[in-house]
Amino acid sequence: MMEFPYIRKRGIYYPIVPVKLVHQGLELITDALVDSGAVVSVFQASISDYFGIDLFEGERIFLQGIGGRIAAYRHHIDLKIGDFSFRSTIAFSREMIPRVNILGRDDFFQHFLITFDELSRKLVLQKINVNI
């Protein structure tokens, strides 16, 4: 079980976790907002640029949010959270207005029981030991 205290930015607390991305020998540790309202994970394209990923080689999808629609490109990449590594699908986009990375449900939520503990301001990830 992993616990992550919410991160405070400008007086507001967010369920943000550190995540390591690994691709073709390069590693990067960044942070991402865990968002149960997001169907897919969306990260900044500056990250895919760092890994040398050709954005447009990925499947193009359009993401509809509360403020409009953006294009993103799906790529497979290895993630590590705490001591748990897994292959995931991340949509990278140059059009995100919020300057965050988002961990959404697809290829992430099914690995964990996730508790948003608002009272204690912490996120709890409990690994599910099943083969998907």
Quick one: 14 exposed, middle or buried, by C-beta within 10 A (0-12, 13-18, 19+)? middle
CA distances from 44 to 30, 69, 75 (A): 11, 15, 12
Question: Interface with another protein includes 106 (CB under 8 A)?
Answer: no
Q: How far is the CB of 98 from another protein (least distance, A)?
A: 6
Tokens encoding 31: 């942070």
**15 DSSP assignment:** -
The residue from 41, 44, 88, 93 that contacts another protein (CB under 8 A) is 44
Looking at the Cβ atoms of 66 and 130, the one nearer to another protein is: 66
Tell me the closest approach of the beta carbon of residue 18 to another protein, in angstroms.
Answer: 4
Interatomic CA distance for residues 58 and 56, integer angstroms: 5
Contact flag: residue 99 with another protein (CB under 8 A) = yes
3-class secondary-structure state, position 55: helix
43 in Cβ contact with 102 (< 8 Å)? yes
Q: Smallest distance, Å, CB 69 to another protein?
A: 14
Q: Does position 118 bind another protein by CB under 8 A? A: no
Q: How far is the CB of 24 from another protein (least distance, A)?
A: 14
Residues near another protein, by CB under 8 A: 4-10, 12, 14, 16, 18, 20, 27-31, 33, 35, 37-38, 44, 46-47, 49-50, 65-66, 80-82, 97-102
